[in-house]
Structure 1
């Protein structure tokens, strides 16, 4: 590559790759940081392609940007943090995982500064696609092993991990085709494989956006319920006619049977209206019972019941169930809401409580 194109592509690649590495090692919101860095890597990859489309003269060979080596590593770390949340990767291990990517950034820089006829570009591309093929297959298989051993119902995070793993296998096939074309010099599939890579990246981009939207919507639903609970608590402060003792006891028995014993409180869509229809008890009478007998608004009562259930599940399952899966099993729409309610109820985060239970078990044994 020569001139303006070579300088622009090289500077952009070094800046974007360096920024991604800095963001990864400094952004501490695990495990979401892996998805965030992967999302921005896709954006950087697409911009790189747009630069070539805008500046290329149709004759120069487009060297692949080394971002292809970062995707399987990020996905593996995301899956590992989800399914093995008790195991925290050390900075040294993270540095080793990103070593191939860092080395290829250096190779990309060296190859970009060489004349086209020198063969550096083709040599770098051969090395890069070979490393990508090995990396995609290795990490995809490791991820499959992780989620195949997981217990509990599938959550939004489980679904995203499996969808992105399928994309990894698809990218591995495309990478093999591009490596074959470089080594043999001809294409045997009848179409260009490289544009398909960007199609797969666009799918990954859309899946991550959908995941964030789903998580955000789940958090909004739980926040709306919390606001409704606060509103109901304020209404409870107003004077209301007291129910007859026999009727109040009857409603308490029905609530215990239909809401607690049947575990209706684990339904993420449970509401006061649903309970009223299910028990044929007027909504205002249920509200009075929750406020006067349980000293809680309906959604506060539901949250407390779910947290009590989660405490039992943690003592039963230990590290064999991920906290993400547990949050959905307990009826919460997002892990964020589960963590917030759990800490407000127990004074500890779910991770801290699980670690505490593990320590107590070791002491007792």
Structure 2
């Protein structure tokens, strides 16, 4: 799958992860030469936005809080550029305490709210890991604070900047690994089942009509789409029609891949749940109840077909 195709299918959470990765790469590059630039102030609001997304907040709320959370960064980056190359201890006197509050505040609040939350999705696992690592980075940032203010060398000669750099490498590894796993998952979802060239593909409209009828019965009567592990092999065995015939019918008659066709039934079912039960179920529960194996895949297919995320659709439905 092409990278451009993958980028078009990024969920808002994956977009936040991508932005965080790019920021940390840039921060790592300037860490040893310019540690006065207020880059750390950006991370807390991003972490909070990631948490809000996993908590099914609407994108409008996330974007609003993200904008408000970045006010300290906007203030200090303006101050930083006004100073230019001039060293000003007043800047650090205000910047360091606020940076430490941001560095410790967001991870503490997020970890507290995630306490007892089962890590059923990769997103929750990633966020918990980043918050735990953020707490470790706080220790080293705090040592910089102590050294500047009361001349106490907590780590006895170890440069805290080096320790922060090592922690950032671990953070970058987790972020890149997450995005790679999502790329691989999307690639698997988008695979078009090839039609065997040596098989006799049906040209008879009667055969195609029979295939279409059996597939509709399997979905609408037997409701096989609710099986999150439904494969083309399993479907073929259930309806008694060769995989090549099913693939030919889906690709040439409906112009859909197997997974796209399957998602149409699952999305229809999810919309019915959201319309009828509203906020009684979490988005993740709706995803699993509709046959999706992960909330991320559910959000992506739902956004593609409905135009909004499931959480936004639920809010719209409650107003009707």
1:197-276 matches, within 5 Å, as: 197-224=164-191, 227-228=192-193, 237-239=202-204, 260=223, 263-264=226-227, 266-267=228-229, 270-275=230-235
Matched, 1:359 2:319: yes
Check whether the contact 1:83–1:147 (CA below 8 A) recurs between aligned residues. Answer: no
Structure 1 equivalent of residue 22 of structure 2: 40
Instruction: Give the match's secondary structure for 2:149.
Output: helix
Larger-Rg structure:
1
Structure 1 equivalent of residue 121 of structure 2: 155
Any idea what the Cα deviations from partners look like across 1:98-140, whole Å, max 9, x if unmatched?
Answer: 222223224434665436xxxx34x544533321221122212
Check whether the contact 2:20–2:46 (CA below 8 A) recurs between aligned residues. Answer: yes
Compute the TM-score of the two structures, normalised by the length of structure 2: 0.71
Check whether the contact 2:140–2:160 (CA below 8 A) recurs between aligned residues. Answer: yes
1: CA distance between counterparts of 2:71 and 2:130?
22
Structure 2 equivalent of residue 108 of structure 1: 80
Structure 1: stretches of 5+ with no match in the other structure = 1-28, 53-61, 361-365
Check whether the contact 2:140–2:161 (CA below 8 A) recurs between aligned residues. Answer: yes
Structure 1 equivalent of residue 38 of structure 2: 66
1: CA distance between counterparts of 2:68 and 2:307?
37
Structure 1 equivalent of residue 160 of structure 2: 193
2: CA distance between counterparts of 1:347 and 1:106?
37
**Comparing 161-170 with 136-145, which one deviates more in the overlay?**
136-145
Structure 2: stretches of 5+ with no match in the other structure = 1-10
Structure 2 equivalent of residue 3 of structure 1: none
1:67 to partner: Cα distance: 0.7
Compute the TM-score of the two structures, normalised by the length of structure 1: 0.63
Any idea what the Cα deviations from partners look like across 1:207-236, whole Å, max 9, x if unmatched?
Answer: 222222222222211211xx339999xx87
1:32 to partner: Cα distance: 4.5
Matched, 1:79 2:54: no
Instruction: Give the match's secondary structure for 1:89.
Output: helix
1:63 to partner: Cα distance: 4.5
Any idea what the Cα deviations from partners look like across 1:82-110, whole Å, max 9, x if unmatched?
Answer: 32423623877544422222232244346
Cα 1:358–1:256 shift into 2, 3 Å: closer
